[in-house]
Amino acid sequence: MNKLCVFALIALFSTSLAHAAGPGCEAQAAEKKLSGAAKTSFITKCEKDAAAAATASCEAQAAEKKLAGAAKNSFVKKCQKDAAASN
């Protein structure tokens, strides 16, 4: 039961982060009128945070589906690729 709650919280947290990165890191930097090193730093952190959120979300989905081993690895890899393509 505790594991289910943890996975639900991870999924909820990662979903909210994914929505925060919705318009894309470049667009967010443009909205904030960043340039130069500040823009580069912001985009790097934004993309890193989005990737971490995608990984957590994909791992939680794999756990919900009770995947293990190669099936889990394949699912997580495809899920992360799909998440990166949607951003």
pLDDT at 22: 52
| Mean pLDDT in residue range 9-31 | 65
Q: Are 18 and 57 in contact (CB under 8 A)?
A: yes
Predicted model pTM: 0.61
Q: Which tokens in the block code for residue 74?
A: 């394949």
Q: Is 1 helix (H, G, I), strand (E, B) or coil?
A: coil
C-alpha 44, offset from chain centre: 14
pLDDT at 83: 84
Give the domain ranges of the chain: 2-86
d(CA 78, CA 85): 11
Amino acid at 26: E
- For residue 77, pLDDT beyond 90: yes
pLDDT at 16: 45
